[in-house]
Structure 1
Amino acid sequence: MVSFAIPSMAATASSSSAPLACCSSTSLHCSANYSNCRRRSSTIHCLRITASSSLADASALLRAAHHTVDTYIKSGMVIGLGSGQASAMAIEYLGRQLRVGAFRDLVGIPTCAASASEAAKAGIPLDYYQDSSQIDFAFDDADVIEEGTLTAIIGRRSLQGDESIIQQKSILNTAGKLVFMITKNKYKGGLDGSVPVLVQSLNWLETAEEIDDLFLGDAEVWRRPAIGHAGPMGGDFPLLTKEGHNVLDVIFTSPIQSLGDVAKSLDNIDGVVDHGVISKFPCTAVIASEDGLSIVDNLRKSSVE
């Protein structure tokens, strides 16, 4: 593991952050057979989001996007184009650099319709992913990244249009090198929150029960809805991906000791097609904060030397 820091180009005065506010909510916990649900009280810590903090994050991610393009992209590359706020910034900047002649002979392979649209507007020539595609480099956003391993979670947000976790992971895994661009609060150990899991829709309930048993006491399993409120059963309109799969959100209420172990356990369950955990080598995290950028690689020490 190698890391170093790049200070911000402009010194910014530290602003007082909004305090953490605590709120009580009630969550549904399903028993293994999913026939009975019991209510339990829990305390959730809510972060008060302010306009200034959002602008600070956007400014930091913009620096991360520019650094990623300037540092890792070379003329002639085939590039996997991720989705999310930082990826959209990187795509726009890459298009500008392409127009002024900083790069030539680039081809982009979008991970979803949104990144394809951004790339088309930016003037980046596009191709579409096939199993035989050769990708030199890819960048993407991540929901969270596990400190130390750089194992990431993607796919927590609602899927739109023809977005596909399977296609996104395939492109990122195919790339010769991968960079995730994230804010500092998304790089940490002892992760919590959800891991999206794609399951065969025909026997989704059996698969959900097995996952629930596997992580009993540490996680809750909910089927993701296409519209309406989330719930253990997915409501009246459960989400069906373009490949025809349901999405189960495995919501961890206890810190995850090893995201890699979670991924291996899920891989061994019948009915699980894929999940939002990705572990890629080599991989780099460009971690943005108001103080500048921190760059963390999962390269072996010998490789660096």
Structure 2
Amino acid sequence: MSESHRSADELKRLVGEYAVDHFVKSGMKVGLGTGTTAVHAVRRISERIAAGRLIDILVVPTSMQTRQLCQELLLPVRSMNDPDIDAELDIAIDGADAVDPQLALIKGGGAAHLTEKIVEYAAREFVVIVDESKLVDQLGTSVAIPLEVIPEARTTVIRRAAALGGQAVLRPAQSKIGPVITENGNMVLDVRFPDGLPIAAAELERELNSIPGVVENGLFTRPVTAVVVGMRTGQVEVKTPS
């Protein structure tokens, strides 16, 4: 296959492996994200451990899906509450649904953004892995911002989002009747801002979380260490904060 026709999965594997090879060192406590890109980072860690190139690694998964894969690969799985993690990580690696020019993110396409944020905001370094299709000029227009909400607050949150200029819809499930239910027993509202974000992304992240009933939203504005981008040519571009 020519370099100009790299498949989406090839690009996901490329950036997942690059992130592990260049950022994960022996002795690290590593947060591992959720989704089809993050799985390649998980598998790469397993490969490097098996090859003797990584030792004394502990991993903290951000979802049942990632935890199951880590267990299948015999990785040493921990939680943020375990004494040898103690709510602090050296690095977290995860994908994103959208990345803007300031390297702010939208995450939560897999409805795991609550645990992802707990893990990734506790990491000293945060490496994001995406293909170039996830690069956007502005957040919140084409890719919705997910809000994990307590079911009783659904209508309240929809109205508060509308007051901010957002259009919120309840995310439907794909393999069952009814809405998506998160691992925490909550619903997901997907909010788009057709005219762009009403305030800066970091301010909106705080504002959305101030709505009663919102457990967490999918804006991630903490500083990233790097965004590793897989280009269609098969090359890797690493973006860092300016």
TM-score (norm 1): 0.70
Higher strand share: 1
Q: What residue ranges of structure 1 are gaps of 5+ in the alignment? A: 1-10, 16-54, 230-235, 301-305
> Which deviates more from structure 2 when the two are superposed, residues 112-121 or residues 219-228?
219-228
Name the residue aligned to 2:100: 146
Conserved in 2, the CA contact under 8 Å of 1:146 and 1:259? no
1:165 maps to 2:165: no
Equivalent-residue separation in structure 2 for 1:264 and 1:209 (angstroms): 17
SS at match of 2:4: coil
Name the residue aligned to 1:59: 10
Alignment-mate amino acid for residue 90 of structure 1:
A
Name the residue aligned to 1:212: 162
Equivalent-residue separation in structure 1 for 2:12 and 2:180 (angstroms): 30
Alignment-mate amino acid for residue 248 of structure 1:
L
Q: Which has the larger radius of gyration?
A: 1
**Which residue, out of 244, 250, 259, partners 2:191?**
250
**Which residue, out of 72, 76, 83, partners 1:125?**
76
> Which deviates more from structure 2 when the two are superposed, residues 242-251 or residues 166-175?
242-251
Name the residue aligned to 1:136: 90
Equivalent-residue separation in structure 2 for 1:287 and 1:189 (angstroms): 15
Superposition deviation, residue 72 in structure 1: 0.6
Q: What residue ranges of structure 2 are gaps of 5+ in the alignment? A: none
List structure 1 runs of 4+ shifted beyond 4 angstroms: none
**Per-residue Cα deviation, 1:160-200 (whole angstroms, up to 9, x for no partner):** xxxx4221110011011011100111112123221111223
Alignment-mate amino acid for residue 66 of structure 2:
S
Conserved in 2, the CA contact under 8 Å of 1:96 and 1:122? no
TM-score (norm 2): 0.87
Equivalent-residue separation in structure 2 for 1:71 and 1:242 (angstroms): 32
Superposition deviation, residue 156 in structure 1: 2.2
SS at match of 1:253: coil
The 5 A counterparts of 1:89-104 are 89-104=40-55
1:238 maps to 2:179: yes
Equivalent-residue separation in structure 2 for 1:225 and 1:97 (angstroms): 38
Conserved in 1, the CA contact under 8 Å of 2:158 and 2:167? no
| CA gap 1:270/1:68 in 2 versus in 1, 3 angstroms | same
Query: Taking every aligned residue pair, what percent have the same amino acid on both sides?
Result: 22
> RMSD of the TM alignment (CA)?
2.4
